[in-house]
A and B are shown apart, each in its own frame.
Chain A
Amino acid sequence: MSNPASEPHTPQGLLIDTTRCIGCGACSLACAERNGLPVPDTARRDADLSDRAFTVVRAQGGRFVRRLCMHCDEPTCASVCLVGAFRKTAGGPVVYDESRCIGCRYCMQACPFTVPRYEWDKVLPRVRKCDLCAPRLAEGRPTACAAACPTGATRFGPRDALLAEARARIAAEPGRYLPQVYGAVEAGGTSVLLISDVSFAALGYPDDLPHEALPALTWRVMSQVPRFAVTAGVFLAGVYWITNRREEVAAEQGRPAPGDGPDAGREAP
């Protein structure tokens, strides 16, 4: 974990321009090198993310397209993690603290981009994923993948600047790009942005994500919990008091208690 004091204060990000990618695989090689992962087979065009590959270049929809953690502005993984092992840092990366993880895999179940991977082969596994080179960012250096890209298909920079650049590129060559910056609003916005000339669905990216951050969907319910608990507690205590009192009164008057009759008291919830 990097020292928070040295993290960049403005959110950094990546801009991936699929029209510029030549599929050389330098990004995945650099990523493997920086993370100490096995050398990937860059000739494979259908590789998937794994616990040993935090980014891959796939040939999909007639283009080369990268897959990697999108580093959501409001990450689903961080929201669902029971022990708070995921954290969105001010500088952009969503980082994972393996010392907290208990391996419930809710992050993998919930991630809208199906990014987190598990070390299934190990007896004591970890979740693995791209960390946007958080330690390099803390040193003021770009991500390994962006530094290695020879065509500028992956650019590193402040997210705001990259978003502006993406829009400028689309505006400059409207025929070349679809008029959409993927990640600007998807799932509430992500630090990794993509522009393309073919549909993102064809590239294997989910195109039906809400524009609202997904954690809001659960928080809407979760935030009601304390209020519900208090209300329900008071209500039930009241019901108890009333029914109990009725029995006491009935006992004093020598009548059978209301709840004992054959048809009395249709059932509780």
Chain B
Amino acid sequence: MTATTWRELPAAVRSQVAVARRWGFWGTLAAAFVAIGAVATVQRFALGLGRTTNLTDHFPWGLWIGLDFLGIGLAAAGFTIVASVHIFHVHRFEPIVRPALLTAFIGYVLVMVVLVVDLGRPDRFWHALFMWNPHSVMFEITWCLILYSTVLAFEFAPVALQRFGITAPLPLLRKIALPFILAGVVLSTLHQSSFGSLYLIVPGRLHPLWYSPLLPVLFFMSCLAAGLSTVVFLCLHVTRYGRRRLPVAVLPDLAKVVAVVLALYGLVRLQDLADRGVLRAGTLGSYEGLMFAGEFLIGVVAPLAVLALPRARRQRAGLYAASTLVLMGFAANRMNTVVTGLESWPHTTYFPSWQEIAISLGIAALGCTLFALAARYFGVIPEGADDPGQGSAEQAALPAGLPLPRRRHFALLALIPTALLVASLYATSVLEETAETGQSPPPPAPPVDLARGLAAFEFPRDVTFERGDGSPGAVTFRHLSHVDARAPECASCHAAGFSLLGRERGGPAPAAGVMHDDRQCGRCHDAAQDCGFCHAG
């Protein structure tokens, strides 16, 4: 079997080179992103988080957490499609199972990479496995991530094994598949929602447009639409030259499911906001309101409008537009939750550093490249000719070979980062403005009322140092004679070397000459003068 693999490899490489020439633009772009991302990753590990990110004490989570949310959400198709095909036995989606599994597996692996990059102590990531705190949402997420990645590996294993010609374990894998499939669906549902639960504990900090007791439900519902849209998008992309194709009805059917889930999500989202009284003019007119409106219009209203047209669902362009819109809206929702919603309190702004952006883009490019390569290598989407059982009339309705005009295609893709960039820049400028104007009328502060504090002021008790050998007598330090009781300033002396905690001790004499030193009493008192002035005891 190895022999065939080796014999096939050059052919695969040859075809890849050929395709790479055709994919020149995307390939080059991805390679550039990965390279810059690699440089940034080296910097991040060599210099630490502080010097390579714009994260601060007031903004400890940034772009990378948003990227985790995105990656996991986009990978949601893995469990939805598997559930519909293998549990609900909706066989129409059978051809999508492999691309969905591949998307999910790559998504999960990359999210774990990002998590390790984001950890302050990446060398200790294994602590998560051995030190348990079941009260932490992060604990649940970690375990779901690990277990579900294992499940995905098992689910994808038959594809990989078949590719390498190893058929012996396949019957066994098939036999034990069901528990894995069930576990995978349950685990995914759990942690897709628990990414939302992460924020349940910050009711005062996260803006009410994004904070909701329903966060776990909303995160779950939105990931369904986003995950399916990811598969639609990737399948459109991989099949755009017609060499690989899917049964014609699959993507339009999938788009219908997206529309239904999206509509449900939109309803629950609005209903929740209305119930909590957030949908007011005051809130919606604010900067956060604008960001929410953008997120909702782009990610829910616009794709629903596109998908409502049966004609659009059957066109590649329509499907492209709808899935891209859903993904943009989803990205905006997660980024708003992670960044926008947390900028109002504590009043602060955040814009990622170039390293944060470079690593994020590099990871995204890596994910797309891995998907494209694996899709081809493992035959995840079959080669063109074998498309049995589909009428040729339907073929004509959606010619898989008809690529979208590439410039328009590129424009759509470029919209995502551009929109995010513009939104963030806008956010930063608006917040800085409000910060300036917000601070201009300071509330008339009452004067600092020292009198009450001074009335309670007590001089610390006298500190007596016993008489040492050869000393003329004991020395008693009195705060009374050193401090102006009308304006006591502890810091003027205690910051300069006189210990605050040592005064509790006092007691035995220090070594001879220590107190005459100019770091101690000797700084002001001249040891050559009247000994009895200090050594009074």
Which among B125, B135, B491 is the interface contact of A218 at CB below 8 angstroms? Answer: B135
Chain A residue at smallest Cβ distance from B56 = A120
> Is there an interface contact between A120 and B55, defined as CB atoms closer than 8 Å?
yes
Question: From residue B45, how far is it (CB to closest CB) to chain A in Å?
Answer: 8
CA A121 to CA B5, docked complex, whole Å = 50
* Interfacial residues of chain B within 32-87, with CB under 8 A of chain A in the complex: 45-51, 55-58, 60-61, 80, 83-84, 86-87
Task: Provide the residues of chain B in CB contact with A83, threshold 8 Å.
Answer: 127-128, 131-133
> Is there an interface contact between A218 and B490, defined as CB atoms closer than 8 Å?
no
Question: Is A180 on the interface with B (CB-CB < 8 A)?
Answer: no
Question: Is B522 on the interface with A (CB-CB < 8 A)?
Answer: no
> Is there an interface contact between A19 and B452, defined as CB atoms closer than 8 Å?
yes
Task: Provide the residues of chain B in CB contact with A217, threshold 8 Å.
Answer: 200-201, 203, 213
Question: Is A101 on the interface with B (CB-CB < 8 A)?
Answer: yes
Which among A20, A59, A112, A114 is the interface contact of B453 at CB below 8 angstroms? Answer: A20
Q: Which of A102, A150, A240: most chain B CB closer than 10 A?
A: A102
Task: Provide the residues of chain A in CB contact with B203, threshold 8 Å.
Answer: 210, 214, 217
- Categorize the interface residue count of chain B: 35 or more
> Is there an interface contact between B89 and A33, defined as CB atoms closer than 8 Å?
no
Question: Is B384 on the interface with A (CB-CB < 8 A)?
Answer: no
Question: From residue B301, how far is it (CB to closest CB) to chain A in Å?
Answer: 22
CA A119 to CA B91, docked complex, whole Å = 54
Question: From residue A156, how far is it (CB to closest CB) to chain B in Å?
Answer: 13
Which among B134, B459, B491 is the interface contact of A24 at CB below 8 angstroms? Answer: B491
CA A25 to CA B458, docked complex, whole Å = 15
> Is there an interface contact between B200 and A218, defined as CB atoms closer than 8 Å?
yes
Question: From residue A138, how far is it (CB to closest CB) to chain B in Å?
Answer: 16
Question: From residue A96, how far is it (CB to closest CB) to chain B in Å?
Answer: 13
> Is there an interface contact between B133 and A110, defined as CB atoms closer than 8 Å?
no
* Interfacial residues of chain B within 108-132, with CB under 8 A of chain A in the complex: 118-125, 127-128, 131-132
> Is there an interface contact between A232 and B490, defined as CB atoms closer than 8 Å?
no
Which among B48, B131, B453 is the interface contact of A22 at CB below 8 angstroms? Answer: B453
Interface size on A, residues (CB 8 A): 100
> Is there an interface contact between A33 and B501, defined as CB atoms closer than 8 Å?
yes
Interface-lining segment among B138-146, B323-331, B399-407: B138-146
Task: Provide the residues of chain A in CB contact with B88, threshold 8 Å.
Answer: 239, 243, 259, 265, 267-268
> Is there an interface contact between A125 and B120, defined as CB atoms closer than 8 Å?
yes
Question: Is B170 on the interface with A (CB-CB < 8 A)?
Answer: no
Dominant secondary structure of chain A at its interface with chain B: loop
CA A39 to CA B492, docked complex, whole Å = 12
Q: A64-B448, A153-B453, A198-B446 are in contact. Are A82 and B182 (CB under 8 A)?
A: no
Per-residue CB proximity of A179-209 to B under 8 Å, as 1/0? 0000000000000000001100010001011
Question: Is A29 on the interface with B (CB-CB < 8 A)?
Answer: yes
Question: From residue A125, how far is it (CB to closest CB) to chain B in Å?
Answer: 5
> Is there an interface contact between A151 and B501, defined as CB atoms closer than 8 Å?
no
Which among B45, B58, B91, B182 is the interface contact of A260 at CB below 8 angstroms? Answer: B91
Question: Is A172 on the interface with B (CB-CB < 8 A)?
Answer: no
* Interfacial residues of chain B within 423-460, with CB under 8 A of chain A in the complex: 443, 445-450, 452-454, 456-460
CA A43 to CA B491, docked complex, whole Å = 8
Question: From residue A80, how far is it (CB to closest CB) to chain B in Å?
Answer: 5
Task: Provide the residues of chain A in CB contact with B216, threshold 8 Å.
Answer: 221
CA A117 to CA B189, docked complex, whole Å = 33
CA A49 to CA B60, docked complex, whole Å = 14
Task: Provide the residues of chain B in CB contact with A76, threshold 8 Å.
Answer: 201
> Is there an interface contact between A120 and B48, defined as CB atoms closer than 8 Å?
yes
> Is there an interface contact between B456 and A82, defined as CB atoms closer than 8 Å?
no
Question: Is B178 on the interface with A (CB-CB < 8 A)?
Answer: yes
> Is there an interface contact between B136 and A108, defined as CB atoms closer than 8 Å?
no
CA A63 to CA B490, docked complex, whole Å = 18
> Is there an interface contact between A81 and B185, defined as CB atoms closer than 8 Å?
no
Q: Which of B119, B127, B197: most chain A CB closer than 10 A?
A: B127
> Is there an interface contact between A222 and B89, defined as CB atoms closer than 8 Å?
no
> Is there an interface contact between B83 and A215, defined as CB atoms closer than 8 Å?
no
CA A203 to CA B132, docked complex, whole Å = 37
Q: A206-B204, A247-B89 are in contact. Are A269 and B491 (CB under 8 A)?
A: no
Chain B residue at smallest Cβ distance from A124 = B121
> Is there an interface contact between A82 and B189, defined as CB atoms closer than 8 Å?
no
Which among B182, B448, B456 is the interface contact of A236 at CB below 8 angstroms? Answer: B182
Task: Provide the residues of chain B in CB contact with A225, threshold 8 Å.
Answer: 140, 190
> Is there an interface contact between B119 and A151, defined as CB atoms closer than 8 Å?
no
Q: A103-B120, A106-B136, A121-B50 are in contact. Are A62 and B91 (CB under 8 A)?
A: no
Question: Is B92 on the interface with A (CB-CB < 8 A)?
Answer: yes
Task: Provide the residues of chain B in CB contact with A62, threshold 8 Å.
Answer: 445-449
Which among B182, B449, B495 is the interface contact of A237 at CB below 8 angstroms? Answer: B182
* Interfacial residues of chain A within 208-240, with CB under 8 A of chain B in the complex: 208-210, 214-215, 217-219, 221-222, 225, 228-229, 232-233, 236-237, 239-240
Task: Provide the residues of chain A in CB contact with B169, threshold 8 Å.
Answer: none
Q: A148-B490, A148-B501 are in contact. Are A259 and B204 (CB under 8 A)?
A: no
Question: Is B202 on the interface with A (CB-CB < 8 A)?
Answer: yes
Question: Is B90 on the interface with A (CB-CB < 8 A)?
Answer: yes
Chain B residue at smallest Cβ distance from A221 = B197
Question: From residue B289, how far is it (CB to closest CB) to chain A in Å?
Answer: 20
Question: Is B260 on the interface with A (CB-CB < 8 A)?
Answer: yes
* 30 pairs from A and B in contact (CB 8 Å cutoff): A26-B494, A29-B490, A42-B490, A61-B443, A62-B448, A64-B448, A79-B201, A83-B131, A100-B127, A102-B119, A104-B118, A104-B119, A110-B202, A114-B57, A124-B123, A125-B48, A151-B457, A153-B453, A176-B452, A202-B445, A214-B203, A218-B135, A218-B201, A221-B216, A240-B89, A262-B249, A265-B92, A267-B88, A268-B80, A268-B84
**What is B's interface to A at a CB cutoff of 8 Å?**
45-51, 55-58, 60-61, 80, 83-84, 86-92, 118-125, 127-128, 131-140, 142, 178, 182-183, 185-186, 189-190, 194, 197-198, 200-205, 213, 216, 224, 249, 256-257, 260, 345-346, 443, 445-450, 452-454, 456-460, 488-491, 494-495, 499-501, 504
Known: A22-B488, A121-B48, A150-B459. 7 other contacts (CB 8 A): A20-B453, A80-B138, A84-B131, A147-B500, A221-B194, A267-B88, A269-B80
